[in-house]
């Protein structure tokens, strides 16, 4: 009888545990309501009134992860970003255990602190490094006791519990419910344009390959410049309107010099560099002559 009783007690406990887990998974997760800050202006003065957790995860981020800020770095030698060590992936994967995160502000993150990051992946031939963009309305710092707090004023470093339901202000519960509810949701990642191609593949993938002489270089933002130019030679297609400047990283070009340039074109962005590297080559360099040989072979 004692064995039978123990068996039923064990089964009863197991059933209750499953019921509790299901209740947490399928009922309480609907109550991920975000606290509305009582502060008039939030981080960067952004409005928080329309932000929901579901919208944040499903529409506004590509990656969610736990990481610690270890240092700072620069994009295009000008724009400050944070260097972050990845401790745990919650939604999505990164290609490295150390990533760069752009926030647009030098005040929102602190070196040495651990955060639950809500990120959008960004890769562009306009920047010398790939990076992620942190959603500024939802910066969550992780405390030593395992709780999370949301930054609501970057200057006074004021924080508040992010959720109305207190259990989601615990990191373990928030990570669990985020994985359970959203891990299978297809994220809307920003399109990657940092493709790595061999010289021959670059020739075949470029819409236009032209030689230009740089007339002026005017920086507009973050080390990116508007470049006016004269067309010198068309190696592939090349019927481009040179009355419009090209956007090229300032570090890659110099006024008065001539370059071989690989371009793509679409209806929304116009002409842009094909890749992050090797799309702008100084005329007369050893690399220039090698690629011209490949172009002539294909043509």
Asked if the structure places residue 5 within a domain, the reply is: no
**Residue 30 is assigned to a structural domain of this protein:** no
What is the gyration radius of the CA atoms in the chain, in angstroms?
A: 26
Place of tokens 């519990």: 161
Same domain assignment for residues 58 and 160: yes
| CATH code at position 233 | 2.40.50.120
Contact 92, 64 (CB under 8 A): yes
Q: Which residues contact 229 (CB under 8 A, 6 or more apart)?
A: 212, 213, 214, 215, 242, 245, 246
Residue 59 has which token pair?
Answer: 């529409």
**Residue numbers of the chain with a pLDDT score lower than 50:** 1, 4, 7-15, 17-27, 29, 38-42, 46-48, 186-195
pLDDT at res. 92: 92
Amino acid 114: pLDDT: 98
The pLDDT score that the predictor gives to residue 187 is 44
Are residues 173 and 47 located together in one domain of the fold?
A: yes
CA distances to 37, 125, 129, 180, 237 from 120, rounded to whole Å, are: 24, 17, 15, 20, 35
Per-residue model confidence (pLDDT) at position 203 = 87
Closest among 206, 218, 194 to 260, alpha carbons compared: 206
Last residue of a domain, one of 128, 154, 182: 182
In a domain, 28, yes or no: no
pLDDT value of position 155:
87
- 228 plus 293 within the same structural domain: yes
Instruction: Confirm if 154 and 43 have CB atoms less than 8 A apart.
Output: yes
H/E run at residue 286:
helix 286-298
Q: What residues have CB less than 8 Å from 264, skipping those under 6 apart?
A: 205, 206, 207, 208, 271, 272, 273, 274
Domain end residue (candidates: 148, 182, 216): 182
167 in the same domain as 98: yes
Q: Are residues 106 and 216 in the same domain?
A: no
Pair 143, 177 in one domain: yes
Q: Distance (Å, rounded) from C-alpha 208 to C-alpha 263?
A: 5
Domain identity same for 148 and 255: no
Nearest to 199 by CA among 277, 99, 91: 277
**Is 242 inside a domain boundary?**
yes
Q: Which domain holds residue 265?
A: 199-298
Q: What is the pTM of this model?
A: 0.71
Residue 285 falls in which region: left (phi positive, over 0), alpha (psi -120 to 50) or beta: beta
First-to-last CA distance in the chain?
89
3-state class percentages of the chain: helix first, strand second, coil last, to nearest 5: 25, 35, 40
DSSP code of residue 65: E
233, 284: one domain: yes
pLDDT at 24: 47
pLDDT at 160: 94
Q: Is the residue at 250 inside a domain?
A: yes
The answer to the question of residue 12 being in a domain is: no
Q: Would residue 19 count as lying in a domain? A: no
Residue after which a domain boundary falls, among 182, 210, 236: 182
192, two tokens: 């990657």
CA triple 168-174-176, angle to 5 deg: 130
Torsion of CA 249, 252, 256, 259, to 10 degrees: -110
**Closest residue by Cα to residue 233 from 203, 259, 207, 211:** 211
Return the CATH number at 55. Answer: 2.40.50
167 lies in the same domain as 211: no
Written as six digits, the tokens of 178 are 């985020």
| Total domains in the fold of the chain | 2
Pairing of strands 98-102, 114-122: unpaired
Q: What is the pLDDT of residue 25?
A: 46
Is there a single domain that holds both residue 63 and residue 122? yes
Residue 234 counted as domain residue: yes
């Amino acid at each position: 009888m004692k064995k039978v009783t123990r068996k039923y007690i064990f089964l009863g406990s197991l059933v209750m545990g499953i019921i509790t887990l299901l209740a947490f998974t399928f009922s309480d997760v609907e109550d991920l309501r975000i606290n509305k800050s009582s502060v008039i202006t939030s981080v960067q003065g952004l409005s928080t009134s329309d932000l929901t957790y579901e919208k944040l995860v499903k529409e506004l981020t590509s990656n969610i992860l736990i990481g610690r800020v270890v240092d700072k770095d620069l994009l295009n030698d000008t724009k400050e970003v944070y260097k972050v060590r990845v401790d745990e992936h919650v939604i999505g994967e990164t290609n490295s255990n150390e990533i760069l995160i752009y926030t647009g502000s030098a005040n929102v993150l602190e070196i040495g602190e651990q955060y639950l990051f809500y990120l959008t992946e960004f890769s562009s031939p306009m920047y010398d490094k790939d990076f992620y963009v942190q959603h500024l309305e939802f910066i969550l710092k992780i405390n030593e006791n395992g709780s999370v707090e949301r930054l609501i004023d970057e200057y006074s470093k004021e924080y508040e519990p992010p959720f109305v339901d207190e259990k989601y202000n615990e990191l373990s519960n928030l990570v669990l419910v985020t994985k359970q509810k959203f891990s299978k949701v297809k994220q809307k990642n920003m399109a990657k344009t940092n493709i790595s191609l061999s010289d021959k593949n670059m020739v075949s993938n470029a819409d236009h390959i032209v030689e230009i002489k740089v007339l002026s270089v005017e920086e507009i933002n973050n080390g990116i410049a508007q470049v006016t130019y004269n067309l010198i030679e068309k190696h592939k297609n090349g019927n481009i309107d040179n009355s419009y400047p090209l956007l090229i990283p300032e570090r890659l070009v110099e006024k008065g010099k001539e370059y071989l340039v690989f371009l793509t074109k679409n209806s929304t962005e116009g002409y842009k560099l094909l890749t992050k590297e090797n799309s702008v080559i100084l005329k007369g360099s050893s690399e220039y002559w090698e690629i011209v040989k490949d172009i002539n072979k294909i043509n």
